[in-house]
Amino acid sequence: MSKLRKSSKQKLYAGCVGAGIVGMIFVGYLMVNIHQMSEIRKQAKVEAEQKWKLYEQEQRTAKTGWAVVRDISPGEQITSNDLKGIKVPGSQAPSNLLTNKSEVSRTTAKIELKKGAVLTSAMITADEPTPKDLRNRELKVVVLPSSLKPGDEVDIRIQFPTGQDYILLSKKKISRLEGPTVWVTMNEQEILSLSSAIVDAYLHKASIYALTYVDPQFQPKAIPTYPPNAQVLALMNSDPNLVRVAEQKLSKQLRNSLENAINSSNNVISTPVEKGLSEEVAAQHAGTTIEDAVSGIDDTGSEEQDHEEQTKILTQGGSSDPYAK
Look at residue 41 in the predicted model and tell me its pLDDT.
86
Residue 181, burial from CB neighbour count under 10 angstroms (0-12, 13-18, 19+) = middle
Low-confidence ranges of the chain (pLDDT < 50): 269-271, 273-278, 281-282, 285-298, 300, 317-325
pTM for the structure as a whole? 0.46
Look at residue 170 in the predicted model and tell me its pLDDT.
93
| Separation of alpha carbons 258 and 266, rounded Å | 12
Look at residue 64 in the predicted model and tell me its pLDDT.
84
Look at residue 92 in the predicted model and tell me its pLDDT.
74
The answer to whether the CB of 59 falls within 8 A of the CB of 86 is no
> How far is CA 182 from its chain centroid?
15
Look at residue 267 in the predicted model and tell me its pLDDT.
58
Look at residue 177 in the predicted model and tell me its pLDDT.
93
For 272-290, the pLDDT digits (tens) are 544 443 455 445 544 444 3
Look at residue 283 in the predicted model and tell me its pLDDT.
53
Look at residue 54 in the predicted model and tell me its pLDDT.
77
Q: Is 150 helix (H, G, I), strand (E, B) or coil?
A: coil
For 204-230, the pLDDT digits (tens) are 889 999 999 998 888 888 999 998 777
Look at residue 242 in the predicted model and tell me its pLDDT.
64
